[in-house]
Amino acid sequence: MIMEMSAIRVSRIGAFEWTTVPLRDIGEDEVLIEVEVTGLCRTDLKLIRVGHRDLTLPRIPGEEVVGIVRKTGGSVKGVLEGRRVYVYPGVWCGRCPACRRGAENLCRQMQIMGFHRDGGFAQYVIAPAGSLIPVPEGLDAELAVFAEPLSCCLNALELACVGRGDAVGIWGAGPAGTLLSRAAAAMGAEPLCMEPDDRRRRMAKGVPGPEGRKFDVCIVAVGSNHAYEEALAALNPRGRLVVFAGLSPSDDVLPVSFNQLHYHEQTLVGAYGCSFRHGVRALRFIATGAVTVRDMISHRMALSDLDEALRIVENRSGMKILLYP
């Protein structure tokens, strides 16, 4: 019986510690997962440094988790111990209007792992059995862990009705923008990334677009209102602008010409997080190679080196950073 574990704990905004924490018993419908790998993303940096709308403290962060099931609660059926799983980071009610529409990410009672519930920056994580998605046989943990960020991209592409032949402009070619471009290409669309950094732009699908180019879908994957202004101006008739990256609250009001939307039948669409089904689809995309991710791993680091890892995210000097407990 495991009573305690090493974990990253955030007790107040702006600080964290690598420490030993008690491990609670699992509930009837829960499973204990030994974390193999967790992904670090820009949201974790924001969460730790400045806080986040959905964060409650104290908290073990980490919403991108792949691990091995070590123990299951009494009422759990069909989840085998020893099985590699990806953890969909949400726990949803299943009854509210959002859940009934298949938008679990907008559930009124949404509990996000790493935000409202303890996450994967630890040796173990406890999750409801209903949040687990088995990793396809033979798929490496460090590739499967891309299922979370890729799921958020699939949600955005779905909301923007991206399809074959659509010209998709993506602002920012960090990990999210790169995955957006690769997923859009896998769906038969024609993505182009707007990214000042040559090295990052080369990783994305497509080639840099010429100035003045127009798109059927514009996705802003960088927290810049200048990028939103450019994207809005680059929309084709019937174009969809996806609000994928959040802006700082002091900076989030932009002028929009409603006559432009009216006369050109354009749409603004928000995208935040992902639903369970996106995780299933993301794992399939990764397992089949429809979306390749291995070349996006820039750093493999110990969880205890989180401080250095966060600096790399902050400086944008890496691509995807994976953390090992």
Least separation in angstroms between CB 127 and Zn ion? 17
Of residues 66, 70, 59, the one with CA closest to residue 88: 66
CA distance 241 to 235: 7
Select 92 or 228, whichever has its Cβ closest to Zn ion: 92
Of residues 133, 129, 4, 1, the one with CA closest to residue 75: 129
State the residue number with the nearest CB to Zn ion. 107
The two three-digit tokens of residue 211, written as one number? 């100035």
Least separation in angstroms between CB 113 and Zn ion? 16
Select 264 or 277, whichever has its Cβ closest to Zn ion: 277
Least separation in angstroms between CB 90 and Zn ion? 10
Of residues 80, 109, 73, 76, the one with CA closest to residue 94: 109
Burial of 265 (0-12, 13-18, 19+ CB in 10 A): exposed
Least separation in angstroms between CB 101 and Zn ion? 10
Of residues 186, 164, 156, the one with CA closest to residue 284: 186
Select 7 or 110, whichever has its Cβ closest to Zn ion: 110
Which amino acid would we find at residue 20?
A: T
In the chain, the N- to C-terminal Cα span, in Å, equals 19
Least separation in angstroms between CB 98 and Zn ion? 6
Residues found near Zn ion in the complex (CB under 5 A): 92-93, 96, 99, 107
Select 72 or 155, whichever has its Cβ closest to Zn ion: 155
Least separation in angstroms between CB 92 and Zn ion? 5
The two three-digit tokens of residue 89, written as one number? 């980071």
Select 100 or 238, whichever has its Cβ closest to Zn ion: 100
Beta bridge partners of 91: 111
Select 96 or 261, whichever has its Cβ closest to Zn ion: 96
Select 107 or 122, whichever has its Cβ closest to Zn ion: 107
Select 37 or 107, whichever has its Cβ closest to Zn ion: 107
Least separation in angstroms between CB 201 and Zn ion? 39
CA distance 122 to 58: 14
Is residue 132 a contact partner of residue 126, using CB atoms and an 8 Å limit? no
Is residue 180 a contact partner of residue 157, using CB atoms and an 8 Å limit? yes
Least separation in angstroms between CB 117 and Zn ion? 15
CA distance 321 to 310: 9
Query: At what angle are helices 147-159 and 276-288 packed, to 10 degrees?
Result: 110
